[in-house]
């Protein structure tokens, strides 16, 4: 004991600890308690309050590096509110929890960037405002340190973008207004425009019912209502924080952890790259570039982009040159009230149905998973292969209480579908979390032609479809043969079924569901979707109903797709096997669902910088002949690469069953698909398949070509060729060519289906 009196009460003295650390201050018995200073052997120094040997209360800590913190401590950790000064000159002032920034806080970085808003685990997370030193500002949601969710970016030149964001990049529907007064409403993908949109020239009348933004704007181009609301939100959070500090409420939220003197990394000022095709940092006045151009300000243009490259542009309401426009179609970008999907919320018409479905699946999967995995038996398919349970609101001996309505649950052939999920490599825990986790399902806003309603899991891995009673009977009838078929052929293109269920409500209403895999669950944006049957009668889409979410039909398809020779052989070998199986079950009306992701032609990217200047000035590419919308020399470059497959370098995603296909281009080895600037993907039959799309332009006799990535699968396999279909065939044959209608004999249907697809995927010369 150095220069101190032994005392059982609180007394000030100094002590050198065995490890070399030094404490000078008040003690309670043998432990620091009250005010005191503590110096570690590495030179770190704490001066402040102690409680039973723990730093608790107000204090200051300084590190040898020069970093310092002044504020609240609890249990030996930075916890409460305080100010941290980093060695690089950065300063954080706000809330802490367990040595990490948590809650409201303001950070000024060493490069003069600043962030004001919510933090979580030391990173911006929640609602906040980030200001770059150059003057660009983002106000909106954050997640794990990146712009994520709804937010507004304002550039110093007055350009603004109100959009959804993902990992720091614009991703989803958005509304962009340029300083010139021009604006664009459309969709972004990983920071660039991708898909259909509408471009308004300066002075054009902009609709007020925008899906993402409000019409009213400030002088600087930001949304007036959203801007004021954002300021109010941040202001209220700071007021609440100050009240907590003033009234000493922070002690109720303290949770200790060890101290760290690290600083949050500075955000790179790449805000100018978020919209490289849209918003150049250089400010352009509305008159720049327009003085020698005859601009019709009332024109509104429909546009289509592929990875930021403008592919097609037409005045709204006129014939369109979009990618999928045939000879008779007008491709309009129509805004939908609620978009293609709507998350089910409390009060939604499907809310209780969703809760019942989630409760039932959770119960069934939880009950069947512990059963040892075994081969299915004949009685696993029979009428006794059912799980039936009553779910009262108050709960029972076997079911938990819930906030939905009373219902009966029936699960069909649980052991069979359990084995199918194992066969398709679907983990039971992932399956339950995807469908029954904390997130709601999403309902497609427009039901199918059959009247079925479709739901998607939040991660979009699974599709849930309501079934008619007749469809349920067909599925259960063909289930034994279906099981054997998908077991025998890993690369089958037929719909993957994961479960069949029925909910019976108290009033006697019965709703039947089937859970399927979503073949479009991919990181890539699906630009076109086609439902191909091989028939022609009624197989076109009315032009007034076409929008960016439309699934097109046989006569709408204007492209042919050229794939690797070995892939084509494998594809048609599997199509033939699947068609034979469906024919053996007397199934008709099935179709090939084809999803297309277009890659931007590299030869058009050179024109992008020129297009940037025109667009920010309000000039459309239709006014400037130097921007080629189509190019005859389409073979000058490719939009993808094929490289030798390396295990572990590609994400499996939801399409992990099935062998990889071998490419003749790669020496008949397994290959991965590399999309520059996007990622690396595993190539399987019908999944991530690269191809070359060709379309003849009749006006010029030129061939338009694009590199594409294809997704395809056989869907709608629950319609038998029964008596009603035979009658339909007889009646329609009186008016139309018998070979052109959908309802035909299963053998003819199968042959016509394969023959049509052979024309869609022709052999290469």
Out of 173, 200, 227, pick the residue that ends a domain: 200
Same domain, 377 and 509: yes
- Arithmetic mean of pLDDT, 362-371: 89
CATH code, domain carrying 386: 3.30.800.10
Same domain, 380 and 479: yes
Closest CA to 582 of 485, 723, 487: 485
- Arithmetic mean of pLDDT, 170-182: 87
Q: What is the pLDDT of residue 532?
A: 94
Same domain, 453 and 583: no
Provide DSSP, 545-603: G--TT-EEEGGG---EEE--HHHHHHHHHHHHHHHHHHHHTTB-S-EEEEEEEEPPPHH
Same domain, 509 and 572: no
Angle, helices 414-423/428-436, rounded to nearest 10 degrees: 110
Same domain, 485 and 600: no
At 382, the pLDDT band (50, 70, 90 cuts) reads: confident
CATH code, domain carrying 39: 2.60.450.20
φ, ψ of residue 388 in degrees (nearest 5): -120, 130
Q: Classify residue 207: in a domain, yes or no.
A: no
Spatial distance between the Cα atoms of 464 and 360, rounded to a whole number of angstroms: 14
699 or 597, greater pLDDT: 597
Spatial distance between the Cα atoms of 87 and 65, rounded to a whole number of angstroms: 6
At 288, the pLDDT band (50, 70, 90 cuts) reads: very low
Spatial distance between the Cα atoms of 620 and 314, rounded to a whole number of angstroms: 10
Number of domains the chain is built from:
3
Q: Classify residue 441: in a domain, yes or no.
A: yes
Spatial distance between the Cα atoms of 510 and 341, rounded to a whole number of angstroms: 24
Out of 175, 200, 225, pick the residue that ends a domain: 200
Spatial distance between the Cα atoms of 374 and 422, rounded to a whole number of angstroms: 11
Closest CA to 35 of 11, 19, 15, 18: 11
Instruction: Give the rounded distance of the alpha carbon of 435 from its chain centre.
Output: 16
Tokens of 79: 């916890």
Closest CA to 187 of 170, 202, 203: 170
- Arithmetic mean of pLDDT, 348-358: 91
Q: Classify residue 206: in a domain, yes or no.
A: no
Q: Classify residue 395: in a domain, yes or no.
A: yes
Tell me the CB-side half-sphere exposure of residue 217, using CA atoms within 13 A. 24
Closest CA to 455 of 377, 398, 521, 516: 516
Q: 424-428, 446-450, 454-458, 578-582: which range is least confident on average?
A: 446-450
Q: Classify residue 417: in a domain, yes or no.
A: yes
Q: 277-281, 299-303, 562-566: which range is least confident on average?
A: 277-281
* 212-236 pLDDT per residue, tens: 433 333 434 344 444 445 445 555 5
pLDDT at 166 over 60: yes
Q: Classify residue 26: in a domain, yes or no.
A: yes
Four-point Cα dihedral 689, 690, 691, 697, nearest 10: 120
The percent of residues above 90 in pLDDT, for the chain, comes to 36
Instruction: Give the rounded distance of the alpha carbon of 353 from its chain centre.
Output: 24
CB-CB neighbours of 734 under 10 Å: 7
Q: What is the pLDDT of residue 568?
A: 92
- Arithmetic mean of pLDDT, 286-296: 34
pLDDT at 393 over 80: yes
613 DSSP assignment: H
In our burial notation (b when 16+ CB lie closer than 10 A, e otherwise), range 625-660 reads eebebbeeebeeeebbebeebeeeebeeebbebbeb
Q: Is 357 helix (H, G, I), strand (E, B) or coil?
A: helix
φ, ψ of residue 463 in degrees (nearest 5): -110, 135
Same domain, 479 and 597: no
Same domain, 461 and 574: no
Q: What is the pLDDT of residue 560?
A: 92
Q: Domain limits at 709?
A: 562-610+640-760
Same domain, 584 and 454: no
* 544-600 pLDDT per residue, tens: 667 667 889 999 898 999 998 888 999 999 999 999 999 999 999 999 999 999 887
Same domain, 441 and 590: no
CATH code, domain carrying 677: 3.30.810
pLDDT at 474 over 90: yes
Spatial distance between the Cα atoms of 565 and 38, rounded to a whole number of angstroms: 75
Q: What is the pLDDT of residue 9?
A: 45
What is the bridge-based pairing of β-strands 68-74 and 160-166? unpaired
pLDDT at 763 over 80: yes
Q: Classify residue 625: in a domain, yes or no.
A: no
Q: Which residues contact 368 (CB under 8 A, 6 or more apart)?
A: 387, 414, 415, 418
Q: What is the pLDDT of residue 495?
A: 94
Q: Which residues contact 239 (CB under 8 A, 6 or more apart)?
A: none
Q: What Rg, from alpha-carbon coordinates, does the chain have?
A: 32
Same domain, 473 and 602: no
CA angle 181, 183, 185 (to 5 degrees): 165
N residues, the chain: 765
Q: Classify residue 298: in a domain, yes or no.
A: no
pLDDT at 277 over 70: no
The percent of residues above 70 in pLDDT, for the chain, comes to 73
Same domain, 35 and 148: yes
* 588-623 pLDDT per residue, tens: 999 999 999 988 765 444 444 444 444 544 434 333
Q: 88-92, 473-477, 643-647: which range is least confident on average?
A: 643-647
Out of 484, 518, 552, pick the residue that ends a domain: 518
Does the predicted model carry a pTM greater than 0.75?
no
Q: How far is CA 14 from CA 19, 23, 83, in A?
A: 15, 6, 28
φ, ψ of residue 478 in degrees (nearest 5): -90, -5
Q: How far is CA 730 from CA 77, 192, 591, 739, 746, in A?
A: 82, 52, 22, 12, 15
pLDDT at 453 over 50: yes
At 271, the pLDDT band (50, 70, 90 cuts) reads: very low
Same domain, 91 and 187: yes
- Arithmetic mean of pLDDT, 706-723: 92
At 629, the pLDDT band (50, 70, 90 cuts) reads: very low
- Arithmetic mean of pLDDT, 743-754: 93
260 or 505, greater pLDDT: 505
**680 and 672 in contact (C-beta within 8 Å)?**
yes
pLDDT at 398 over 80: yes
């Amino acid at each position: 004991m150095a220069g101190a009196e032994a005392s059982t009460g609180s007394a000030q003295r100094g002590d050198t600890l065995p490890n070399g650390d030094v404490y000078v201050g008040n003690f309670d018995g043998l432990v620091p308690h009250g005010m005191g200073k503590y110096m570690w052997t590495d030179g770190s120094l704490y001066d402040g309050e102690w409680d039973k040997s723990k730093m608790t209360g107000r204090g200051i800590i300084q590190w040898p590096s020069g970093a310092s913190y002044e504020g609240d401590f609890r249990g030996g950790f930075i916890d409460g509110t305080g100010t941290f000064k980093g060695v690089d000159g950065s300063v954080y002032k706000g809330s802490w929890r367990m040595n990490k920034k948590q809650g409201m806080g303001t950070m000024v970085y060493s490069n003069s960037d600043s962030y004001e808003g919510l933090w979580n685990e030391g990173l911006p997370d929640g609602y906040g405002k980030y200001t770059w030193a150059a003057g660009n500002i983002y106000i909106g949601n954050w997640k794990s340190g990146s712009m994520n969710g709804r937010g507004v970016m304002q550039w110093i030149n007055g350009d603004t973008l109100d959009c959804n964001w993902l990992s720091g990049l614009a991703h989803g529907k958005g509304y962009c207004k340029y300083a010139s007064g021009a604006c664009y409403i459309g969709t972004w993908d990983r920071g660039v425009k991708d898909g259909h949109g509408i471009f308004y020239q300066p002075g054009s009348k902009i609709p007020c019912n925008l899906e993402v933004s409000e019409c009213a704007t400030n002088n600087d181009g930001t949304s007036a209502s959203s801007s004021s609301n954002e300021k109010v939100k941040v202001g209220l959070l700071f007021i609440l924080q100050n009240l907590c500090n003033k009234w000493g409420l922070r002690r109720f939220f303290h949770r200790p952890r060890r101290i760290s003197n690290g600083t949050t990394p500075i955000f790179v000022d790449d805000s100018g790259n978020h919209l490289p095709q849209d918003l150049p940092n250089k400010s352009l006045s509305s008159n720049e570039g327009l003085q020698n151009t005859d601009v019709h300000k009332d024109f509104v243009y429909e546009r289509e982009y592929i990875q930021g490259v403008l592919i097609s542009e037409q005045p709204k309401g006129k014939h369109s040159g979009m990618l999928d426009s045939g000879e008779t179609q007008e491709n309009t970008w129509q805004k939908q009230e609620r978009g293609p999907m709507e998350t089910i919320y409390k009060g939604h018409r499907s809310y209780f149905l969703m809760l019942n479905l989630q409760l039932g699946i959770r119960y069934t999967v939880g009950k069947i998973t512990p059963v040892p995995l075994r081969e299915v038996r004949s009685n696993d398919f029979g009428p006794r292969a059912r799980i039936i349970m009553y779910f009262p609101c108050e709960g029972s001996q076997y079911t938990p209480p819930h906030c939905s309505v009373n219902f009966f649950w029936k699960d069909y052939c649980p052991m069979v579908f359990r084995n199918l999920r194992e066969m398709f490599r679907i983990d039971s825990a992932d399956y339950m979390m995807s469908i029954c986790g904390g997130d709601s399902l999403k309902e497609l806003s427009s039901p199918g032609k059959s009247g079925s309603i479709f739901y998607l899991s939040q991660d979009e891995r699974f599709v849930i479809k309501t079934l008619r009673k007749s469809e349920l009977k067909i599925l259960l009838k063909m289930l034994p043969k279906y099981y054997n078929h998908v077991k025998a052929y890993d690369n089958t293109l037929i719909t993957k079924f994961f479960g069949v269920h029925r909910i019976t409500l108290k009033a006697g209403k019965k709703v039947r569901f089937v859970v399927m895999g979503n073949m479009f669950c991919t990181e890539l944006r699906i630009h076109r979707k086609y439902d191909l049957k091989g028939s022609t009668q009624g197989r076109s889409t009315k032009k007034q109903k076409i929008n960016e979410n439309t699934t097109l039909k046989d006569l709408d398809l204007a492209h042919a797709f050229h794939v690797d020779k070995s892939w084509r052989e494998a594809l048609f070998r599997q199509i033939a096997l699947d068609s034979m199986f469906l024919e053996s079950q007397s199934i008709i009306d099935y179709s090939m669902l084809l999803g297309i992701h277009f890659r931007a032609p590299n030869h058009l990217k050179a024109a992008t910088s020129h297009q940037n200047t025109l667009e920010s000035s309000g000039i459309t590419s239709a006014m400037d002949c130097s921007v080629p919308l189509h190019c005859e020399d389409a073979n000058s470059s490719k939009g993808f690469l094929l490289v030798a497959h390396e295990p572990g370098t590609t994400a499996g995603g939801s399409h992990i069953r099935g062998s990889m296909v071998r490419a003749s281009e790669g020496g008949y080895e397994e290959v991965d698909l590399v999309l520059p600037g996007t990622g690396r993907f595993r190539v399987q039959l019908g999944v991530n398949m690269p191809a070359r799309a060709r379309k003849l332009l009749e006006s010029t006799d030129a061939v338009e070509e694009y590199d594409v990535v294809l997704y395809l699968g056989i869907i709608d396999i629950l319609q038998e060729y029964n008596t009603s279909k035979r009658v339909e065939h007889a009646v329609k044959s009186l008016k139309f060519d018998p070979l052109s209608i959908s309802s035909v004999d299963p053998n003819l249907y199968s042959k016509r289906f394969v023959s049509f697809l052979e024309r869609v995927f022709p052999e290469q010369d």
